[in-house]
Structure 1
């Protein structure tokens, strides 16, 4: 919830990937939130340097110029935010740079809120250690949808009763990583039971390599679909003798993520280290 103190300073927010589909929604959400202020807009798109981010997105002029200088933007936001509390970075960029972005934000004293997926378990562990040593709160959130959190909790509960399950995630064809971080997170929650899934019933043979999806050590199989027209969708199917049980979540518009983004922005400065997953903040 927004701060109740009317004299409190707005939370300075820097958006990385500001011209992307998710970044644009974050910019709109931040400027519409009374307790937040847009402190920076980062994007590496050709020809965007120095443009007002509001005009570039077809909004009104916001007085914030687009910059491709990631660390320079963090440094500026950190210096300007000292009077009213630390700044927050919301990152929706690319898996190839998300680790460096997160580490740089912590180093500059800017709380990272990371929506970009693709961090490895080793990178997450390293960032958690780094943020704890720096006493900097941060959040890596594979999916900002409350509905997806509910699906993941239901999948973890159902995993107690079913020994066979497969997960399918479907996204637009501009998503760079597969499987999605959300799907991996769902599998991890199901695996917390410590059980093995999908015991072999027959000696399988793939005439087309990969058609059975990716197999995790637990036996869970993950499938990825990439098509234009999709946004973000996930299905978990359980099977048992005589029945199947299916959980599914569909994101129709990216605006569905914004309540979760703003909730995380409001909470992240209270944290003493890095958290992984929106459920840790609800």
Structure 2
């Protein structure tokens, strides 16, 4: 598609009194910047469907491929319950989609929602075809992140690994780190409607962050091994308590205490807000990646 731009030039000369002054103008046709092609890997998942909707609504981006081992052959627009189909079938061959975008020489990015064991190979494939990657895969290991960092450094290609797409969760982690320097006692309490992975990735992430600061917490309770006191994560005494009750909203609360006071920092998410945050944060992540990661970064 091309855009039409008009430039007006007004020239006034000394003319006889009865002469008319006519403005002159010229038009030039300039090519417009094409949309960024986004490939959703793990498109049939709940978060993948949310990303498809987010990209469809975002400016300057368009869904160029949907990859998953489920719902193969179905239109991704219909899978996402959109009003109109996107005419993009779900395929289970990432290489085929990457090859198509590479041949068109369009700017592209792959968003990976698959699983920890597949992330490295997926990023490697995307890089081989000249596409950057955004990775959101819970419980991705430190070894995998280190391997990705080393690979991206050699390939001079950016990759963004997002531990969470929840804005509130990230703010809670930052608040917990700030508070940890002022308190010697801390415990994490979380609630979930269903028992999936316990402790949750959010609780584990917060505990790991607090355990790497050189602080020993709950010194008077370190030797307690009573189950009711919760699970100790790491070696620095951070305890986690997990509640699982149907109907409970997902929440994570960090309790700090010191002489004569208690500080509470928490985050709660509802299903509708979670999808909204995913959509918003996904678009922000894609834009941030393409604008700020021209070289190797992770």
TM-score range, shorter chain: 0.7 to 0.9
Distance in 1 between the 2:287 and 2:57 partners? 14
Confirm whether residue 238 of structure 1 aligns to residue 256 of structure 2: yes
Distance in 1 between the 2:226 and 2:98 partners? 49
Q: 1:279 aligns to what?
A: none
Confirm whether residue 115 of structure 1 aligns to residue 140 of structure 2: no
Which structure's relative contact order is higher, taking Cα pairs within 8 Å and 6+ residues apart?
A: 1
Q: How does 1:2-13 map to 2 (within 5 A)?
A: 7-13=32-38
Q: 1:40 aligns with which of 65, 72, 81?
A: 65
Q: How does 1:1-282 map to 2 (within 5 A)?
A: 7-45=32-70, 48-59=71-82, 60-80=84-104, 82=105, 84-85=106-107, 87-171=108-192, 173=194, 175=196, 177-201=197-221, 203-206=223-226, 212-224=230-242, 229=247, 232-252=250-270, 253=272, 254-269=275-290, 270-271=292-293, 272-275=295-298
| CA positional deviation for 1:230 | 5.7
Can you list the C-alpha shifts for 1:111-144, whole angstroms capped at 9, x where unaligned? 1111211111111111111111111111111112
Q: 1:89 touches 1:113 (CA, 8 Å); kept in 2?
A: yes
Distance in 2 between the 1:101 and 1:231 partners? 33
Q: 2:184 touches 2:217 (CA, 8 Å); kept in 1?
A: yes
TM-score, structure 1 length as denominator?
Answer: 0.81
Q: 2:136 touches 2:163 (CA, 8 Å); kept in 1?
A: yes
Query: What is the DSSP-based 3-state SS (H/G/I as helix, E as strand, rest coil) of the residue aligned with 2:54?
Result: helix
Distance in 1 between the 2:49 and 2:284 partners? 17
Query: What is the DSSP-based 3-state SS (H/G/I as helix, E as strand, rest coil) of the residue aligned with 1:9?
Result: coil
Distance in 1 between the 2:126 and 2:241 partners? 33
Can you list the C-alpha shifts for 1:81-137, whole angstroms capped at 9, x where unaligned? x2x32x111122334433433343334332111121111111111111111111111
| CA positional deviation for 1:228 | 5.4
Would the alpha carbon gap of residues 237 and 77 (structure 1) be closer, same or farther in structure 2, given more than 3 Å must change? farther
Distance in 2 between the 1:21 and 1:202 partners? 40
Superposed CA RMSD in Å reads 2.6
TM-score, structure 2 length as denominator?
Answer: 0.77
Matched residues, number: 262
Query: What is the DSSP-based 3-state SS (H/G/I as helix, E as strand, rest coil) of the residue aligned with 2:221?
Result: coil
Would the alpha carbon gap of residues 199 and 180 (structure 1) be closer, same or farther in structure 2, given more than 3 Å must change? same
Can you list the C-alpha shifts for 1:47-105, whole angstroms capped at 9, x where unaligned? x222211122221110211011133333333333x2x32x1111223344334333433
Distance in 2 between the 1:225 and 1:242 partners? 27
